[in-house]
Amino acid sequence: MQETMKGVAVFGGGALGMLLAGKLALAEVPVTVWTRTEGQAAKIREAGISIEQPGRDPAQAVRLDAAAFGDVHPGYEGIVLVALKQTSLNEPLLAEMRRKLGEGAGIVLFQNGIGHVERAASFLPGRELLAAVTTEGALRIGETAVRHTGSGETWIGRWEPEADTPADSGKPSLPEAAANALEKAGFSVFVSNQIRERMLRKLLVNAVINPLTALWRVTNGELPATPERLSAMRALFRETEGILRLHGLRNADDDELWETVLGVCTATAANRSSMLQDVDAGRETEIDAMNGAVSRMGEASGMEAPWNAAVTALVKAILSPKERGV
């Protein structure tokens, strides 16, 4: 590895966090995983992380360092890959990150949806902030185990492209250092200077697939399989695309973007979307950072967003398994 500053920390013990941390550890990149609870950190310290890969031999656990985020010493200056859900990256947590992460820390935000980078920037002045968009598929199967359900691609880029490392500094820039570490771990990674465009494209895909699969409780592959569902997808797509175009989405034509949405349904046909998984588990969903955000963007530009507003309200009103007595 060319450079990892003073190490790599992965913040988050969910599916993506364990996948990133486990694969970095397997590639012998010095890595620590920070979890929300001491209970999970203790289990990882004891058992390591196991990564199941379809078609490969049974997973072998890889040992690595783990700590509860509350126990991290203030002043951390390395790379932090933040693999928490949007809903966890709230203001109290960002305030705690400000106390723990020194000004030399480089923070890479892997959240779906939109709005989190601006929120993080306001809480973490002076720290270098990158956004990452990934299509890696991962399913958490326990506190120390994850299944890698599909290899994807990851784009990493600066949120503020002008804040570049001086050419003569002799050090790889933070995007390069983060990409080098992840490439060593076997991920397919690209440094992007159009990360906002990437985020908007992913938001478009998520804003169509996630709420509808959660409402109808279908897999991604089943979603476009009936004319009724396909026509709702199209309506939600048209409205969302129109709004995102006013907010910076540009480098593709309408047909290409629609084909991308259908292509994701095919490529991830057996997957239950992350929103359907949240609904099934009675967890808070990311609807506010997806269709809720699109509605707000529409409002800000004087555009109506009835489909986005409706799916936001409907997903929020889904009863949890506990409320249904299941």
Q: In this complex, which beta carbon is closest to ligand KPL, that of residue 268 or of residue 308?
A: 268
Distance in Å, CB of 184 to ligand KPL, minimum: 25
Two tokens at 16? 């993506």
* Nearest distance in Å: CB 209, ligand KPL: 4
Judged by beta carbon, residue 106 or residue 224, the one nearer ligand KPL is 224
| End-to-end alpha carbon distance in the chain | 49
Supply the minimum distance, in Å, between the C-beta of residue 219 and ligand KPL: 9
Q: What is the CA radius of gyration of the chain?
A: 20
**Taking the complex as a whole, how short is the minimal distance between the CB of residue 310 and ligand KPL, in angstroms?**
19
Residue 274 CB, nearest approach to ligand KPL (Å): 3
C-beta of 9 vs 279, nearer to ligand KPL? 279
Based on CB atoms, which residue is closest to ligand KPL, 76 or 110?
110
Cβ 151 to ligand KPL, closest distance in Å? 13
**Minimal distance, residue 266 CB to ligand KPL, in Å:** 11
Q: Closest CB to ligand KPL among 240 and 271?
A: 271
Alpha-carbon distance 36 to 68, whole Å? 6
Comparing CB distances to ligand KPL, the nearer of 137 and 298 is 137
Work out the burial of residue 321: count CB atoms within 10 Å of its CB; fewer than 13 is exposed, 13-18 middle, 19 or more buried. exposed
CB nearer to ligand KPL: give 180 or 271.
Answer: 271
Token pair for residue 58?
Answer: 């049974």
Sheet of strand 31-35, all strands in order from the earlier edge strand to the far edge? 65-68, 31-35, 8-11, 79-82, 106-109, 128-134, 154-158, 189-191
Minimum distance from residue 220 beta carbon to ligand KPL (Å): 5
Question: Interface with ligand KPL by CB under 6 A: which residues?
Answer: 112, 205-206, 209-210, 220, 264, 268, 271, 273-274
The residue among 163, 167, 168, 170 whose CA lies nearest residue 127 is 163
Q: CB-wise, 123 or 190, nearer to ligand KPL?
A: 190
Would you say 204 and 244 are in contact if contact means Cβ atoms under 8 Å apart? yes
Among 8, 18, 5, 13, CA closest to 62? 18
